[in-house]
Amino acid sequence: MGLNYLQNNPGKDPWNRGTWHLRRNRNKLGITLNLNTPEGKNIFLNLVKIGDIVVENFRVGALERLGIGYSELKMVNPKIILMSLSSQGDTGPERGYGSNAEVLEFVSGIRSLIGYPDEVSGFMATTLADPMAGTIAAGFVMAALRYREHTGKGTHVVISQRELLTSVIGEEIMDYMMNKRVSQPRGNSHPTFAPHGCYPCQGRDSWITLVIRDDQEWQSLCQLMGQPELAADLRYADGLSRWRHRDEIDRTISQWTVRYNRKDLMQLLQEKGIAAGAVYQPPDLIEDEHLRSRGFWDTVDDPRPGYGTYTVHGRGFYLSRTPVKTRFRAPDLGEHNHYVYSKILGMSQEEIKELERKAIIGTSPVPEVQATIPAIRARRQAEER
């Protein structure tokens, strides 16, 4: 749920107003179910009987302790596909470790390469592990469905998020194995290309990135900067020479870029065949003409009191015949309990009410969970004062 709430207002039900929840759970049904109870376990297995895929992100062994591991699932539905997005995988001495995306970036080795030389890189506001694992998992689910189509059998797919991230830095691993070199953070520089960096533009905190990959691009950049003599300078005659003198080249480029609007300069460089991109912040992205023209942004009209209309990101892919749009808002906690348990599982209203009475299902977190929600904790502390 995070600490960000719609309109900066957690309201009386902050578990429904978190921006992470509103963004990630569009087009989904929302139910609650206490799997630590025999009734909850049986209801879950009844859903598995009629289901195709179960996706879980618990610590390894959690499903087995609940009595709903893959062996139990395939007993009630031999065609079920279980997708496990684990931290470290289901084997090895660290199989039972817990983590979050930020921690995984450290143990995978990625964070050792991010940042500037002689600086310790800290946590980032955005993470790579979660979206990467989710995207890879979707592909494996499609493969598992294809396998089931041919064999009639389900399967259990286990993803190690740590190993996925380590695979991203494969060339750095190979460099150590083959040459015994330990890669270090390089800031915005590149191991072979120069210039390669992030340069100031007009305005506060306004930047542009660019890379020169060959002599022809270097000549084009020198012409564009109005300094064609640099292309003939022996210090910058080839890629290796430019790399050795990259710091002084960066100073020269910065003195030029600072005179331009970042987006205008990006357009100018692109027209000359030079890879360049303005550094955008969220307000820039919302107003970006290209993203708007492609329909990347979705507008959600939420009829609930205190919600209104808000903008959420799209998916980054498009289907020619099937619109990939927000069909309905993210659900409230347990909003579809009655629909799923009554219409899909055929339970009576009396059975559903009994589940609510026993707190096996519900529409708000139990008190001990509510006590961990920052907005509620702050509210109670204010009331006590």
Mean pLDDT of the region 7-24: 93
The pLDDT score that the predictor gives to residue 346 is 97
2 has pLDDT over 60: no
The fraction of the chain above a pLDDT of 90, given in percent, is: 81
**Domain ranges in the chain?**
22-31+297-385, 52-187, 196-279
- Cα–Cα nearest to 236, from 253, 260, 259: 253
Q: What is the secondary structure of 26-87 as a DSSP string? A: TT-------TTSHHHHHHHHHHHHT-SEEEE-SPTTHHHHHT-SHHHHHHH-TT-EEEEEES
Phi/psi-derived region of residue 159, left when phi > 0, alpha when psi is between -120 and 50, beta in every other case: beta
Query: E-assigned strands of 6-122?
Result: 53-56, 81-86
Lowest mean pLDDT, pick from 35-49, 208-222, 277-291, 361-375: 361-375
Residue of 13, 52, 90, 130 marked catalytic: 130
224 has pLDDT over 80: yes
Residues 200-212 have pLDDT tens digits of 999 999 999 999 9
Mean pLDDT of the region 337-346: 97
1 has pLDDT over 60: no
> Distance from CA of residue 21 to its chain's centroid?
13
| CATH topology classification for 52-187 | Rossmann fold (3.40.50)
Q: What angle do CA 287, 3, 299 make, to 5 degrees?
A: 35
Residues 274-290 have pLDDT tens digits of 999 999 999 999 999 99
301 has pLDDT over 90: yes
Q: Determine the angle formed by the axes of helices 262-271 and 215-224, rounding to 10 degrees.
A: 130
Lowest mean pLDDT, pick from 43-47, 248-252, 379-383: 379-383
The mean of the pLDDT values for the chain is: 93
pLDDT band for 3, please (50, 70, 90 cuts): low
The pLDDT score that the predictor gives to residue 348 is 97
The CATH code for residues 196-279 is 3.30.1540.10
118 catalytic? Reply is no
Residues 100-121 have pLDDT tens digits of 888 999 999 998 888 888 877 7
Lowest mean pLDDT, pick from 25-29, 103-107, 239-243: 103-107
